[in-house]
Amino acid sequence: MLYTLVLLCVVLLTQALALASRNPSQACNNSPDLCTRSYSNITHLGAHDSPFLRDASTNYSLGGNQDLNTTAQLDEGVRLLSAQVHNNHGAWHLCHSSCSLLDAGRLSSWLAEIKGWLDRNPYDVVTLLLVNSDNAVASDIDGEFEAASIKPYAFTMASNVAAPSSWPTLNELILSRKRLVTFVADIVATDSTSYLLNEFTFVFENPYSVTSLSNFSCTPERPLLVQGQTSTAVQSGRLPLVNHFLDIQESFGVQVPDLGNISITNALSGLVGNLGDAAAQCMAVYGKAPTFLLVDFFDQGSAISTVDKLNGITPVGRAGTVNPSPPESTQAVSAFSSTGSLSSRFFGLIVAASAISNIFAAA
């Protein structure tokens, strides 16, 4: 038994050093400058309705919100993934408005895809936002997490009754190996499912059903407790989530993404309704940059460079297949401050040491 543990320790240290040697300094969420920042002191790029694709796999469904699948989204720098959870004949599926419109399969299958990505990317923190469309209870969602074997990554709050005054840094989440933050709209968690964070205890959102480029607003709409009360929302400690996507109103109350205006909606600047100006406006109103920016078709326009500019980073380690144009300096203006980063070798050793310590404790 001891020989096996020692051998495992050597393997872990070797892997950590191999990972650390890839860059002069280890990046967290694509930048070493983000490692020591609080989770709440970063703008996370979000893919609205992440699993709902408008591509050949869905016959280019009008209900699709993204061009690239979830793995590709994460490879390109998306760190917030949202999805709608529906009850499809007793099984929990990811469906756009209705499972008859667009069904992306079981929630557990999608979670398994995310789990695989987290396995391959040990220095990244990912956030999920699940819209609880058919009133799943915590045990329903938990069963899907269990089936995907992703629960060991789930971050748990010390208290679920109110937003905290501070959040862990990315370093702290990575070292604890709790790199998945999960918000669920309208969920009551139990002791065994406390990792399922009730979204509106911790987050407030601006309006999300927008069909005109001139109607984007920073005013809180949800939860009802802070609706229309910006100061109250900010002072409550809730994290600001800015919805910035445009819809087209179809028959029977169904809304579909407005792809025709995406070059404006996801622009860094320019015409009314662009993402960059909207983010700057909300930053001025909230007194801090939005924690989350949620967009459709993140790969079109300048959503990536808008978030990099807010974070004040020059990113590393992305797949690089999406052009984050227009090319502007992301170092000149930052909405946040940074206190530095750990060297890659040192950080890798700490991760390995943490894992080894847990192994011996379990033995």
Cis ω on the peptide bond leading into residue 32 (within 30° of 0)? no
Distance CA 283, CA 186 (A): 26
Q: Of the residues 44, 86, 93, 96, which is catalytic?
A: 96
Q: What residue has token string 């892997």?
A: 15
- Identify residue 180 by its one-letter amino acid code: L
Q: Of the residues 44, 48, 93, 244, which is catalytic?
A: 48
Tell me whether strands 91-95 and 103-106 are parallel, antiparallel or unpaired.
antiparallel
- CA 342 to chain centroid, in Å, comes to 23
Distance CA 336, CA 205 (A): 20
> To 10 degrees, the CA torsion angle through 17, 23, 29, 33?
110
Angle at 335 between CA 340 and CA 81, to 5 degrees: 90
How many other C-beta atoms are found inside a 10 Å radius of the C-beta of residue 1?
A: 6
Say which residues have a Cβ less than 8 Å from residue 353's Cβ, sequence separation at least 6. Answer: none
Is the Cβ–Cβ distance between 155 and 173 less than 8 Å?
yes
Q: What's the DSSP call for residue 152?
A: G
Active site residue 48: yes
Is the Cβ–Cβ distance between 84 and 126 less than 8 Å?
no
> How far is residue 340 from each of residues 19, 32, 154, 172, 336, measured CA to CA in Å?
20, 8, 26, 14, 12
User: Which tokens belong to 127?
Assistant: 């956030």
Active site residue 96: yes
Distance CA 293, CA 291 (A): 7
DSSP 259-294: GGGHHHHT-SSSSTT-HHHHHHHHHHHHTS--SEEE
User: Which tokens belong to 335?
Assistant: 């909405």
Q: Which residues are catalytic?
A: 48, 96
